[in-house]
Structure 1
Amino acid sequence: MERKTASRRRGEELEQAILDAAWQEFSEVGFARLTMEGVAKRAGTSKPVLYRRWSSRVELMIACFASRIPQASSVPDTGSLRGDMVALLTVARKRMAMIGQTAMLGMLTEVSTDPEIRGALFSGLVNELTNMLYEVVYRRAIARGELTEEQLTQRLLRLPTDLARNEFLIFGEITDEAVASIVDEVIMPALRARGAAV
């Protein structure tokens, strides 16, 4: 395992070095065997430095994954709500595959008894994808006249990513067929039922 020598890194430079080390450690040993000590050694720093920023390995890995997930700019404008929805779920699939089913289940197990860390998980990863769905896919559809703001509900805002996450957690993958099924059999009919012209 590669270890970095100590340096006088501070601020964003130090934080990025720690996140890079966390990703390398995760890639090498997996989430179950990942420790704050292992990340600190790999980053060439100390555990107290990590704990000043993140209270647990779950919080550290949430920050690590968030720093590596695809951004809104990676969702192409296909010209239709359906196409954009498929594109977004494809981005979500890549993101979940990057983290892995075992790591996701492990993090969910750890946060199940800690409301504070559970909140960090949802704000750092779950809500971020839901926000991307709204800001990229639904705003484009509203601009094209395919639906209106009033036709969206909080449940509809979360539904595509909730279904994708459930698919991944249960089956360990999200196939092209599953993406098409989620969009064509659930999302689009639900939006049409609210009056959307899709």
Structure 2
Amino acid sequence: MAPDGSRRPPAPRRRGAVLEDAILRAAAEILTESGVPALTMDEVARRAGTNKNALYRRWPNRVALGVAAYRRLAAAETAPPDTGSLRGDALEMLRRANSTWSSPYGEILRGLIAAAGGAPELLAELRDPAAEDAQGAAWLALLGRAVERGEAAPGAVHPRVASAPLALLRNEYVLLGFPAVSDDILTEIVDEVFLPLVRGRGPRPGGT
């Protein structure tokens, strides 16, 4: 009933993409506010103004829904920095990723990985191919600039070389369980692994 006693018209029934958007928005809000433990199908349905059946028709359980909501939240910083040196660029890229992964979004990701219990299909869903492609392109771009500056040989511009620093950083979070990675470790990844890997891809332009 409306405040004046008249009957309100029924709310329009949402379907398809509109309803799915409302559900994912509600789930993302819960993850941001309270983390993975607070994410329940009941609470998401309540916030989205729908019933649990609408959720279960789209996602088999709360973890699958949480993964979908996390992918909605995730937004990687992908514009490559230009500090004037490959070392400076690589450190800046790792510091950006470290800042994101040690933020509340990173806590959500770690909670979802734990809740997934090793289920490969859910862990695969946590990957965002578009974001990963953009990150890979950014690392390849900074390697390309390093070649132009004479800091690296053309052979260093390779997807495997570009992916190495983030893979090592991800290892610190996922396998070792660190809530945040120190700048000393970021520097070690760059100085002890990434730069030697780049230099090992052949002589620098004009070198022997």
Return the match for 2:180 from 166, 173, 178.
173
Determine the structure 2 residue equivalent to 1:152. 158
User: Is residue 100 of structure 2 the alignment partner of residue 98 of structure 1?
Assistant: no
CA deviations over 1:75-96 (Å, ceiling 9, x no partner): 4344443333223223322332
Paired position in structure 2 for 1:195: 202
Which shows bigger deviation, 139-148 or 32-41?
139-148
Given residue 135 of structure 1, which amino acid in structure 2 is its aligned partner? A
Q: Which amino acid aligns with 1:174?
A: V
- Percent identity (aligned): 35
Once the two structures are TM-superposed, the CA of residue 70 in structure 1 deviates from its matched residue by: 3.0
Give the aligned partner of residue 89 of structure 2. Answer: 84
Within the candidate set 115, 136, 153, 2:120 is matched to: 115
Give the distance between the partners of 1:179 and 1:137, measured in 2 at CA. 15
- What SS does structure 2 have at the residue aligned with 1:45? coil
Q: If you compute each CA radius of gyration, which structure gives the higher value, 1 or 2?
A: 2
Q: Deviations over 1:140-186 (max 9, x none)?
A: 422552453675354x3432222222323432112333322222222
| Correspondence for 2:193 among 186, 195, 198 | 186
1:100-145 deviations in Å (ceiling 9; x for gaps)? 44x4444223434422222222x33xx5554233211213422552
1:24 deviation in Å?
1.8
Residue in 1 aligned with 2:135? Answer: 133
Please identify, of 68-77 and 44-53, the stretch whose mean Cα deviation from structure 2 is larger.
Answer: 68-77
CA distance in 2, matches of 1:108, 1:165: 13
Distance 1:13 1:43 in 2: 11
TM-score by length of 1: 0.74
CA gap of 1:71–1:176, structure 2 versus 1, over 3 A, is same
Secondary structure of 1:171's aligned partner:
coil
State the partner residue of 1:19.
24
CA contact (8 A) 2:30 2:39 kept: yes
* Structure 2 spans left out of the alignment, 5+ residues: 1-10
**Alignment RMSD:** 3.1
Measure the CA separation in 2 of the matches of 1:65 and 1:174: 21
C-alpha distance in 2 between matches for 1:7 and 1:78: 53
User: For residues 129 and 82 of structure 1, what CA distance do their matches in structure 2 show?
Assistant: 23
Greater CA deviation, 10-19 or 30-39?
10-19
Aligned with 1:36 (options 26, 41, 60): 41
Contact 1:81 1:140 in 2 (8 A): yes
Q: TM-score, normalised by structure 2?
A: 0.71
SS for the counterpart of 2:35 is: helix
